[in-house]
Structure 1
Amino acid sequence: MDDVTGCLACDLTAGRAAVPGGRVHQTPHWVVEHCVGPLGVGTLIVKPLRHVVQVAELTEGESAELGPLLRRTGSAVTALTSPEQVYVCLWSHAGGRPGHIHFVVQPVRREDMNGHEQFGPALQLAMFQAGRTPDPQAVTAFVGRVRDHLAAQPS
């Protein structure tokens, strides 16, 4: 399946749902977008263009692009946000069922950890529980900067 209506990841890619700031970057097999959830300005999502629910389902082409794209995306987030750490994690559940895989590339700042008194997966959970989504104008501004940064990097 290439596109599943009702899958948030597919709906965002297909334009059926709004992506803050628009598409950041695209390769033949992957798309980079800003996170729609409460993980802060600068948190990017790297997901396959087609609907994939298991890493084992990735094609050779998708697999070949993934590592370099995650490195470039992590590098861009690091350069533009100066975080203490950049988390890169796979998320793939929606409502307790396997969903469209996506890698979350999240800049984590000391103030995030101090503000939620958590780090690692517990920090992400605390951020979701707090439910504070980033200001759309700040996201749009960041997306413009990261788009330019990725375009200037060699593939």
Structure 2
Amino acid sequence: MTDGGTDTGCLACDLSAGRAPLPGGTVLRTGGWVVEHCVGPFGAGTLVVKPVRHVLHVAGLTAGESGALGPLLQRVSAAVTEVMAPEQVYVCLWSHAGGVPGHIHFVVQPVGAADMTRFDAFGPALQVAMGRAGCFPDAAEVERVCDRLREALGPTGPADPTR
């Protein structure tokens, strides 16, 4: 069932619409995109970038949505880098729910040596290991990190190091 471009019963839509609890709240909303803290077990500072409307495939994005995506992912990755100081920031598409295409979202995850050592993994294997471990970040820590990320994103985003 669609509700103003959102699908009731879709966790991604429910989080954005306030129908499900969202630790840290909305970090950024810009045009057709929303940035929120990940509700999964990928650590504090892991953000989700997703279209506001319910979209199942990248091919289903409008020209405006797809045109804004690259710059937004770069901006969010820069903010995560500034706030979390990781060794690397993973950016990957997630889109399955129960084995069928679901609301697309890009996970922007800060990763450091401690994560790789703790889970004895990196890349996709690290995300699988973190998912299996099911260790969710503390809600108060998520709130603090989201406040810092909102500040880093600001109205224009993190400082551009090329300026």
Q: The TM-score by the shorter chain falls in which range?
A: over 0.9
Q: What are the superposed Cα offsets for residues 59-83 of structure 1, whole Å, 9 maximum, x if unpaired?
A: 0110111011000000000011110
Equivalent of residue 110 in structure 1, options 90, 110, 113: 113
Q: What are the superposed Cα offsets for residues 79-107 of structure 1, whole Å, 9 maximum, x if unpaired?
A: 11110100000000000000000000000
The answer for the alignment partner of 2:152 in structure 1 is 149
SS of the aligned residue for 1:24 comes to: strand
Q: Which amino acid aligns with 1:139?
A: V
Are residue 42 (structure 1) and residue 45 (structure 2) matched?
A: yes
Q: CA deviation at 1:152?
A: 4.8
TM-score if structure 1 supplies the norm length? 0.97
Q: CA deviation at 1:28?
A: 1.1
The answer to whether the Cα contact below 8 Å between 2:79 and 2:157 also exists between their aligned partners in 1 is no
Where do 1:35-114 residues align within 5 Å?
35-114=38-117
TM-score if structure 2 supplies the norm length? 0.93
**Matched residues in 2 for 1:148 and 1:61: separation?**
26
The answer for the alignment partner of 1:9 in structure 2 is 12
Q: 1:23 to 1:11 in 2, by over 3 A?
A: same
Pairs aligned (count): 155
**Matched residues in 1 for 2:157 and 2:14: separation?**
29
**Matched residues in 2 for 1:34 and 1:89: separation?**
15
Q: 1:7 to 1:152 in 2, by over 3 A?
A: same
**Matched residues in 2 for 1:83 and 1:21: separation?**
20
Gaps of 5+ in 2: 159-163
User: What percent of counterpart residues are identical?
Assistant: 61
The answer for the alignment partner of 1:122 in structure 2 is 125
Q: Please tell me the root mean square deviation across aligned C-alpha atoms, in Å.
A: 1.1
Gaps of 5+ in 1: none
